[in-house]
Structure 1
Amino acid sequence: MVQSSRMPVYFICHGAGPWPWVAEMQAWHAQMADALRGIPRQLGRRPRAVLLISAHWEEPVFTVQSAQQPGMLYDYGGFPAHTYQVQYRSPGSPALAQRVERLLEQGGIAVRQDGQRGYDHGMFAPMHIIYPEAQVPVVQLSLRSNLNAAEHLAMGRALAALRDEEVLIIGSGASYHNMRTFGIAGHAPSKRFDDWLAQTMLQTTPAERSQRLADWESAPGARMAHPREEHLLPLMVVVGAAQQDVAQRVYFEERFMESATMSSYCLGAAMDKGIAADIL
């Protein structure tokens, strides 16, 4: 593909808990894993660092992880004992944390640093597939616990300059996240919401896209797909950081875990039909 000097951004579905380390779960996540493995090829070069916004970290004020070597946070329950010994030892980047703090402050957005926060599974499960050798520094950035979509779009806009500094911005969540309706009950509502999301991401102008995402609760099946929106908000951040860029759907699955329709998106990459799952 033709390489752009500016890094693209990704919204990815990170899957269920520590799935890369649970053999019984790997078949359910096979298509998702293939999409994640494709990211380094799509980029065409290794980023200087990754800034990852995980659905599994909320704070009253946007908070950036600043440890030189973050620990591990096993934020799941009921999985095999060995999954609580998993290590993903990518380094952190205090310098990137400071840069994030400065950009957000310049944008009038309150922010603080946290030198104690470890990596949660919204980071280490997908990053284990993307960069299994953990050679790229990763810094996590929290959601704000008020879960306001417009504020997360604005935070993304404030961070856009990082894309010109070889920083890969990844929003890690899910296009559908209702644990009570995985199964037959979840298929129709997840499909309705995913169809709306595809139309929003692929068939609208940048201004329309941002407005529709800010008003996401009016979408068909919205609150069935996201009873609580923390898994959708990482999408707002990456769209804010790439608000003028064309989107591609890079992962699409109608029967994830035998029920839900799920999708992931990239914005700002050179168009390549061999990479995109579809461009509607």
Structure 2
Amino acid sequence: MTSAAKAPVLFISHGAPTFALEPGLLGPRLRTLGRQLPELKAVLVVSPHWQTKNVMVMSTALPETVHDFGGFPASLYALQYRAAGQPELAQEAARLLNAAGFAANCDDRRGLDHGAWVPLLHLLPEAKVPVFQVSMPLGLTTQQAVKLGQALAPLRKQGVLIVASGSMTHNLYDVRQSGAQPEAYAQEFATWVRTAVLAKGVKQLLDYRAEAPYAERAHPSEEHFLPLLIAMGAVTEADEVTLLQGGITNGVLSMESYAWGIE
């Protein structure tokens, strides 16, 4: 990676944990995208499955694969993602976050939750690139999510791919059996968001809860949507956005995802 180049930014809808075994439409697209990525020094993942009072940064040298879910097939618990960590860059991320006004500390025992390793199984299946995570602070607002992404953005110039892992829609009360027909509200919400993202409409998205159709039904709580705003905080006007269509699984889980800065 040249000194002028920057690593891309991704927002990936990670869906249900079974996405690891059932790639659907998005899995092959992530695998193709992974082959297009520049040489990377590390991957930084922000996942809603690690929420803490203040921001924590994973500085574990050899993070474990955490199976932080229950009631799924045994084959899912057998999966491992054996990427190394990147303690040095984790320390740098913590420094940037503190400089931006976040109270950040490092955690040298944390493993990779499924919001990180499940999408990475498709994106970078060989697990050769080091991975570390940054937690989401509890009570994060849309404005603070953008600020968090802005704080992490300088790492892109050091070859760090920023992956904001969430879900375009995430109403677990409405989840149906695999193969169920998509609910219209999930598609309408995802379409509204797509229009805003492609237009680089961060201001629209800050107030998505009041402006987007079915926002509260699509996201009864916000933690799976906020990674999109973290991603958008980490990009610039010069970063072209690429839509990664993923369809809708389980009737209501939109897998729509985005990439910025792919050349």
Is this a same-fold pair by TM over 0.5? yes
- 261-270 or 51-60, larger mean C-alpha shift: 261-270
Q: Percent identity?
A: 37
Per-residue CA shift, 1:111-142, capped at 9, x if unaligned?
A: 11111211111111111111222111000111
How far apart, CA to CA, are the structure 2 residues paired with 1:154 and 1:234? 12
Structure 1 residues 185 and 216: alpha-carbon distance in aligned structure 2, compared to 1, 3 A threshold: farther
Q: State the alpha-carbon separation in 1 of the partners of residues 182 and 250 from structure 2.
A: 11
1:34 maps to which of 19, 28, 33: 28
2:209 maps to: 217
Q: CA deviation digits over 1:152-187, x for unaligned, max 9?
A: 110111111111111100011110111111347961
Task: Give the counterpart letter for 2:36 in structure 1.
Answer: Q
How far 1:258 moved relative to its partner? 4.6
Distance in 2 between the 1:46 and 1:166 partners?
Answer: 7
Report the TM-score, using the length of structure 1 for normalisation: 0.85
Task: State which of 238, 246, 249 in structure 2 corresponds to 1:256.
Answer: 249
Matching of residue 197 in structure 1 with residue 202 in structure 2: no
Partner of 1:135 in structure 2? Answer: 128
What is the CA distance between 1:211 and its match in structure 2? 1.4
What residue ranges of structure 1 are gaps of 5+ in the alignment? 271-280
Q: What are the superposed Cα offsets for residues 192-225 of structure 1, whole Å, 9 maximum, x if unpaired?
A: 211110111012xx4xx22122212111110111
Runs (4+) of structure 1 moved beyond 6 Å? none
User: Are the equivalent residues in 2 in contact too, given 1:105–1:111 (CA < 8 A)?
Assistant: yes
Q: Give the C-alpha shift of residue 85 in structure 1.
A: 3.2
1:40-55 matches, within 5 Å, as 40-43=34-37, 45-55=38-48
5+ residue gaps, structure 2: none
Does structure 2 conserve the Cα–Cα contact (< 8 Å) formed by 1:210 and 1:243?
A: no
Q: Shift in Å at residue 42 of structure 1?
A: 2.7
SS in 2 for 1:159: helix
Taking a change above 3 Å as real, the CA distance of residues 138 and 175 of structure 1, as seen in their structure-2 partners, is same
Distance 1:82 1:192 in 2: 34
Secondary structure of the equivalent of 2:213? coil
Q: How many residues get paired?
A: 255
TM-score for both structures, normalised by structure 2: 0.90
What RMSD over aligned residues (CA atoms) do the two structures have, in Å? 1.8
In the alignment, the residues of structure 1 paired with residue 92 and residue 203 of structure 2 have an alpha-carbon distance, to the nearest angstrom, of 28
AA aligned to 1:246 is E
CA 202–182 in structure 1, closer or farther in 2 if over 3 Å, else same: same
Paired with 2:251 and 2:219, the residues of 1 have a C-alpha distance of: 18
Q: Distance in 2 between matches of 1:83 and 1:130?
A: 17
* 1:173 counterpart residue number: 166
